[in-house]
Amino acid sequence: MIGVTKLSINSVGRDYGGATAVHDFSVDIGSGEFVSLLGPSGCGKTTMLRMIAGFMSPSRGTITLNGEVISSPQKVVPPENRRMSMIFQSYAIWPNMTVQQNVAFGLELRKVPAAEMKQRIDRILEIVRLGPYASRYPAELSGGQQQRVALARAIVVQPEVLLLDEPLSNLDANLRDEMRVEIRRMHNEFKITTVYVTHDQGEAMVASDRIVVMNGGHIEQVDTPQRIYSAPATRFVASFIGRTNFLTGTRRDGQVEFAGFTMPEAWLGGSSLTGSTISNVVVSVRPHSVRLHAAKPEAMAPSTAILAGEIVERGYFGDHWDYGVRLSDQLLITAASEPHQVHEVGQRVWVALDAAQMSVIPES
């Protein structure tokens, strides 16, 4: 449920000469919702954001804000008249202005009264934790602080929609982790309808209410972060969001035969296979759902297959081990285990595969 629709994108496409950058893009975004456009470089997400912002017209389809058409092939409302704020990858804050002057800029353009302006600036600087830095210039700030200035400047004008285009790509890994939480905190504070473009799945998973996964200009799936991860709609989504093992099986007499083991169709969600004419079934199995045991486990969930395997490779990552486990001559899978669960290369292990944690990838 998205509640009251704030922004509606209806069958929008964008062509460049003989090439199509965005194909038939449709999604409704609710008031106060945080939606990320996620995908690899060149998938059309920034083109879509620029059409929402009004910097580019659609070749077909419409974009509406509060029920009013703001973009169509015939007419595009200028960006300055859209009641939107946009944060760019480069931040675009004024180097010759202090933090306070940067934040005040949009309010001055809107001729906000001085007393109200001061109140709004003081509040936003407190929220983004930049109050003590109000008189500093951008060159005197860290990358994370500059990003906070850009956020404060965009939010202080109280836009109806906030647009962010890869805003954290210039930060190092630790700052990105900090700022994606900060962006979500700011969203919880102001409840501004937000469209966020990123190629980083971690950013999208942490910050979003829903994620639009894009590939080659098409929408692959629109869903919550939890559903995107646990129930991917396509093979691309399963591989792009996190890590996974793909197992291919053959349907026969109510069973699915994989390389070296068999599972009943019912274990894999029989309803998703009922009525299907496909003979091959592709299943996504996340490494963290593969359980390794030194001895054969006695009691497991009814829908669990217990298989013998051999550790053929391993890697230590501090918070987990990655193990390559050979189940048969044709099947090698990756398992992620807790740091204290140590297995040696060459060791025989028992592998528990719980069908409840497997996702059948629907037919294309």
| Edge-to-edge strand ranges of the sheet holding 5-16 | 19-30, 5-16, 60-65, 68-71
**How many Cβ atoms are within 10 Å of 333's Cβ, its own excluded?**
20
Beta strands at 331-337 and 255-258: parallel, antiparallel or unpaired: unpaired
- According to CATH, the superfamily of the domain at 5-231 is P-loop containing nucleotide triphosphate hydrolases (3.40.50.300)
Secondary structure (3-state) at 65 = strand
Q: Assess whether pLDDT exceeds 80 at residue 93.
A: yes
How far is CA 78 from each of CA 50, 58, 75, 182, rounded to the nearest angstrom?
A: 12, 13, 9, 30
Q: Could you name the CATH architecture of 245-360?
A: Beta Barrel (2.40)
| Edge-to-edge strand ranges of the sheet holding 358-360 | 261-264, 255-258, 245-252, 280-285, 358-360
* Location of structure tokens 């966020």: 196
Q: How confident is the model at residue 287 (pLDDT cuts 50, 70, 90)?
A: very high
Are 226 and 51 within 8 A, CB to CB?
Answer: no
**What global pTM score does this model have?**
0.89
Going by the DSSP 8-state scheme, the letter that residue 39 receives in this structure is -
Fold matches, 5-231 and 245-360: no
Q: Where are the domains of the chain?
A: 5-231, 245-360
Q: pLDDT per residue over 297-341, tens digit each?
A: 887 778 899 999 999 999 999 999 999 999 988 899 999 999 999
**How many Cβ atoms are within 10 Å of 87's Cβ, its own excluded?**
22
Are 134 and 125 within 8 A, CB to CB?
Answer: yes
Q: pLDDT per residue over 146-192, tens digit each?
A: 988 988 999 999 999 999 998 888 778 888 888 888 889 889 989 99
Going by the DSSP 8-state scheme, the letter that residue 228 receives in this structure is H
